[in-house]
Chains A and B, each alone.
Chain A
Amino acid sequence: MSKLLEVRNISKYYTHKDGWLPGRRICALEPLSFSLERGETLAIMGETGSGKSTIAKIIAGAEKPSSGELFINGQALDKMADQQRCRYVRMIFQDSLRSLNPQITVGKQLLEPLLFNHDGRSLEERKKRVFETLRKVGLLPEHYHFYPHMLSSGQQQRVCIARAIVLEPQIIVADEAFAALDPSIRAQIINLILDLQQDMGISFIFVTHSPEIVKHVSDKILIMHRGKMIEFGTTQALITDPQESLTATLLQADNNYKVPLHSTTKE
């Protein structure tokens, strides 16, 4: 059987245009290849500006690669219609506020993807699915009628997560989806992802700076440095035997305040 996702030599150049002057070309991504099996979780790590969001957007189809090809289940992604594509891959963006439509209530935003992919479900059934999804991401039925600006940043992020999972796609790409979540909700969402993975074999690609989350959920890790993939391998291998010093640094636990666990001892 073919791999769930295969990325072959994708690269990305951006041109900074300045009026009528010829633009400067910036290489955000040098050609890179990797593949992912069904049900696997891949973590993408790297410094800021290293090209993590660029990879994520290309996989999700939000950005076209300058070269290279992507295959899902052996099918070339650029030949797929958008509707078909969004059943395979859904993305959660880094700037959640800007990816939500401010004019539309939370409930309608979640119904929207179901409209084109309703599989013959009635409106009632679709609504039920939306309420169920809201509950899964730790929101309440009341939030169905809220507009995005009435929610805090973390709540908006959860709406984006809900929008991504409501269709039950095969791959979810999440760009720093955990950063705006508090520990309790973050744990809930991680549990949810693990459940989805177990029940439906969903693959998960996520960009994060948190070594704890990476160690907890990922099977493979991809390390980016200035547009280059400098290391790729299993989580186990990269933790026990990193080849690059950057890998080791990124995977170090970054707890600022070394809290003594349950130490209620008195001096």
Chain B
Amino acid sequence: MNILDIRNLTIELETDAGLVRVLDRFSLQLAEGEIHTLVGESGSGKSLLAKAILGFINPKWKITADRLWWRQYDLLNLNPAARRIITGRDMAMIFQDPSSYLDPNDKVGAQLRESIPRGELSGIYLKRRADRQTRAERLLHRVGIKNTEEVMDAYPHELSEGLAQKISIAMAIAHNPKLLIADEPTTAMEPNTRAQIYRLLTKLSASQGMSILMITQDLTAVIPESKQMSLIYCGQLMETGPTEQLMSTPAHPYTEAMLNMSLYHQQSEPKSRLPTLTGAIPTLQHMPIGCRLGPRCPYARKACVQQPALRKIKSQQFACHYPLRDGDDHE
């Protein structure tokens, strides 16, 4: 059963140059306890999608969808107050620039204690306060912070970037959300710490059935525990399906390009020039018609000015007129 079901979500915003589509009929399904990775280049609309799920979107922007459901709730047709309650209770997000989402005027400890839900504490005031303190400390331990006292006593600007990321992870998991959206959560961490955070998140997802939507720009950053993944380009869904399958037998030219580009594969001479995908992501005002990858796609032909429909081979779905694999390719 999918607990998050998004079908043909479109977000349009008003600019000086008219209405632009940041997200173009994007679909995504997430099952309970599933870890799903969303991969796409910078500016492809990943953060906006995350914010749209949480309802943190400028009210002036136009959002339409065939479906935007969270469990039994139709999020788009819920009244704003009810939606806030449901997202506040069930969802959490680790933001991309954690230090700008922490309140600069308040100590870390106070902000962390604040994020622990009141309903879970009982007893008289003093006991509740002590409980809150121990729970805050335990949260910090879980994200691998040992000098809890020092960290809780600091203001956000006094933290290193990696610490700020850890704090925002601690705050996000404080109320045991059912859905966690992690927008590039570990960019400021070195491999060991990163692995530790991923272990924590995978454990949470396995033990509490927490679904996680990981967001990243780099295919090599996809963790093996993420059994599903989707690729987004310029607000359009390119390919989605089981991670292993997409990595070994991509059907979409974009997936292939992303695989070939990851630095890991280039056993190149030091200081040699690296290969890049030709061209740059266009601005929203100048999106190509049809398949938005068109101008940068080596396989593009005439038919590509029509937006390709989503096709399915086994559990792999992709939107391309000239896929690298065909339907009759049986393994």
> Which A residues are within 8 Å of any B CB, using their own CB?
14, 16, 18, 24, 26, 45-49, 52-53, 94-98, 138-140, 142-143, 151-155, 158, 176, 179-188, 190-191, 194, 209-213, 215-217, 235, 249-250, 252-257, 259-261, 263-264, 266-267
Contacts of B248 in A (CB 8 A): 259-260, 263-264
A94-B161, A183-B262, A185-B276 are known; give 5 further A-B pairs, CB within 8 A.
A98-B97, A140-B283, A154-B42, A179-B188, A187-B261
Contacts of A45 in B (CB 8 A): 190
* Contact assessment for A191 and B276 in the assembled complex, using a CB-CB cutoff below 8 Å: yes
* Contact assessment for A180 and B187 in the assembled complex, using a CB-CB cutoff below 8 Å: yes
B273 at the interface (CB under 8 A from A): yes
B192 at the interface (CB under 8 A from A): yes
* Contact assessment for B187 and A259 in the assembled complex, using a CB-CB cutoff below 8 Å: no
* Contact assessment for B270 and A259 in the assembled complex, using a CB-CB cutoff below 8 Å: no
Contact with A along B170-188 (1 / 0, CB 8 A): 0000000000000010011
* Contact assessment for A47 and B188 in the assembled complex, using a CB-CB cutoff below 8 Å: no
Which of B40, B247, B276, B282 interacts with A257 by CB under 8 Å?
B247
Contacts of A263 in B (CB 8 A): 248
* Contact assessment for B264 and A253 in the assembled complex, using a CB-CB cutoff below 8 Å: yes
* Contact assessment for A48 and B263 in the assembled complex, using a CB-CB cutoff below 8 Å: no
Q: Known contacts being A49-B162, A140-B280, A216-B270, is A259 close to B192, with CB within 8 Å?
A: no
* Contact assessment for B99 and A186 in the assembled complex, using a CB-CB cutoff below 8 Å: no
* Contact assessment for B190 and A138 in the assembled complex, using a CB-CB cutoff below 8 Å: no
* Contact assessment for A183 and B268 in the assembled complex, using a CB-CB cutoff below 8 Å: no
Contacts of A186 in B (CB 8 A): 263
Cα A80 to Cα B220 with chains together (Å) = 44
Contacts of A212 in B (CB 8 A): 263-264
* Contact assessment for B270 and A183 in the assembled complex, using a CB-CB cutoff below 8 Å: no
Which interface class (under 10, 10 to 19, 20 to 34, 35 or more) fits B? 35 or more
* Contact assessment for A183 and B190 in the assembled complex, using a CB-CB cutoff below 8 Å: no
Q: Interface SS of chain A: helix, strand, loop or mixed?
A: mixed
B9 at the interface (CB under 8 A from A): no
Contacts of B258 in A (CB 8 A): 183
Q: Known contacts being A48-B160, A216-B271, is A16 close to B331, with CB within 8 Å?
A: no
Contacts of B42 in A (CB 8 A): 152-155, 158, 180-182, 185
B210-225 at interface with A (beta carbon < 8 Å) = 217-224
Q: List 28 A-B contacts (CB under 8 A).
A: A16-B158, A47-B192, A48-B193, A49-B160, A49-B162, A52-B160, A53-B160, A94-B161, A95-B100, A98-B97, A140-B280, A152-B44, A154-B42, A179-B187, A180-B217, A182-B218, A183-B219, A185-B42, A187-B275, A188-B276, A209-B189, A213-B263, A216-B263, A253-B264, A256-B220, A256-B221, A259-B220, A264-B248
Q: 4 tightest CB-CB pairs across the interface, nearest first? A: A48-B162, A154-B42, A182-B217, A254-B191
Most chain A CB within a 10 A radius of its CB, from B150, B247, B258, B264? B264
Chain B residue nearest to A198 in the complex (CB):
B271
* Contact assessment for A16 and B276 in the assembled complex, using a CB-CB cutoff below 8 Å: no
Cα A212 to Cα B218 with chains together (Å) = 13
Cα A143 to Cα B282 with chains together (Å) = 10
Contacts of B286 in A (CB 8 A): 142
Chain B residue nearest to A151 in the complex (CB):
B43
B82 at the interface (CB under 8 A from A): no
Rounded to whole Å, the gap between the CB of A220 and the closest CB of chain B is 13
Rounded to whole Å, the gap between the CB of B52 and the closest CB of chain A is 14
Contacts of A183 in B (CB 8 A): 217-219, 258, 261-263
Cα A267 to Cα B162 with chains together (Å) = 41
Rounded to whole Å, the gap between the CB of A13 and the closest CB of chain B is 13
Rounded to whole Å, the gap between the CB of B217 and the closest CB of chain A is 4
Cα A170 to Cα B290 with chains together (Å) = 45
B194 at the interface (CB under 8 A from A): yes
Most chain A CB within a 10 A radius of its CB, from B44, B274, B283? B274
Rounded to whole Å, the gap between the CB of B122 and the closest CB of chain A is 31
Rounded to whole Å, the gap between the CB of B8 and the closest CB of chain A is 22
Which of A95, A139, A188, A259 interacts with B259 by CB under 8 Å?
A259
Cα A253 to Cα B191 with chains together (Å) = 9
Chain A residue nearest to B40 in the complex (CB):
A182
Chain A residue nearest to B161 in the complex (CB):
A94
Contacts of A179 in B (CB 8 A): 184, 187-188
Rounded to whole Å, the gap between the CB of A116 and the closest CB of chain B is 27
Cα A68 to Cα B167 with chains together (Å) = 33
* Contact assessment for A143 and B187 in the assembled complex, using a CB-CB cutoff below 8 Å: no
Contacts of A209 in B (CB 8 A): 188-191, 194
Chain B residue nearest to A146 in the complex (CB):
B283
Q: Known contacts being A176-B188, A216-B270, A259-B264, is A48 close to B163, with CB within 8 Å?
A: yes
Contacts of B99 in A (CB 8 A): 95, 98
Cα A187 to Cα B276 with chains together (Å) = 6
* Contact assessment for A176 and B161 in the assembled complex, using a CB-CB cutoff below 8 Å: yes
Chain A residue nearest to B187 in the complex (CB):
A179
Q: Known contacts being A49-B163, A217-B271, is A256 close to B224, with CB within 8 Å?
A: yes
B285 at the interface (CB under 8 A from A): yes
* Contact assessment for A142 and B193 in the assembled complex, using a CB-CB cutoff below 8 Å: no
B29 at the interface (CB under 8 A from A): no
B28-85 at interface with A (beta carbon < 8 Å) = 40-44, 47
Contacts of B228 in A (CB 8 A): none
Contacts of B154 in A (CB 8 A): 16
Contacts of A46 in B (CB 8 A): 190
* Contact assessment for A181 and B217 in the assembled complex, using a CB-CB cutoff below 8 Å: yes
Rounded to whole Å, the gap between the CB of B327 and the closest CB of chain A is 15
B268-317 at interface with A (beta carbon < 8 Å) = 268, 270-271, 273-277, 280, 282-283, 285-286
